[in-house]
Amino acid sequence: MALSSYVLLVILGSGLVTWLSRVVPFILLKQFKLPKIIVNFLGFVPICIMTALWMESLFIQHLGQFPSLNVPNALASIPTLISAMISKNLLVIVIVGVISLAVVNLLI
């Protein structure tokens, strides 16, 4: 498949917009001091996002029916949650989660 100039410009433009949307807030917020209540509120955002992502992968949606449990992901969640409670280190949690899911997929 040949890469046309239009496709290349779309890819580069999308990358630029994505990069700017992640960098500009840091540049702007670096010059302002946010109130304590906003900083406290924003402290809950990462855990909310991670919980939403986890719940989305824990259940399988069926059209017109109740969701069912994704058993491999549920089994891999057990050691991952234990490592999260013990270490509170995101790198450890991700590594344990990936290894747990790989082992569960090999065994099932």
Sequence-distant contacts of 21-28: CB under 8 A, at least 24 apart? none
54 and 10, same domain (yes or no) = no
Neighbours of 95 (CB within 10 A): 13
- pLDDT per residue, tens digit, the chain (108 aa), is 567 889 999 999 999 999 999 999 888 888 888 889 988 998 888 888 988 988 999 999 889 999 999 999 999 999 999 999 999 898 999 999 999 999 999 998
Q: Answer for the pair 81, 68: CB distance below 8 angstroms, yes or no.
A: no
Domain count, the chain: 2
- At residue 81, the pLDDT reads 93
- What single string gives the DSSP state of each residue in 34-68? --HHHHHHHTTHHHHHHHHHHHHHHEE--TTS--E
pLDDT value of position 71: 94
Q: Are residues 43 and 93 in the same domain?
A: yes
Residue 30 pLDDT: 84
Q: Are residues 54 and 73 in the same domain?
A: yes
Q: Is the domain of 55 the same as that of 75?
A: yes
What are the phi and psi torsion angles at 66 (to 5°)?
-70, 150
Same domain, 56 and 68: yes
Domain of residue 21 covers 1-32
Q: Same structural domain for residues 47 and 71?
A: yes
Q: Give the per-residue pLDDT at 104.
A: 96
102, 78: one domain: yes
Backbone φ and ψ for 79, nearest 5 degrees, come out as: -65, -30
Rg (C-alpha) for the chain, rounded Å, is: 20
**Is-above-0.85 flag for pTM?**
no
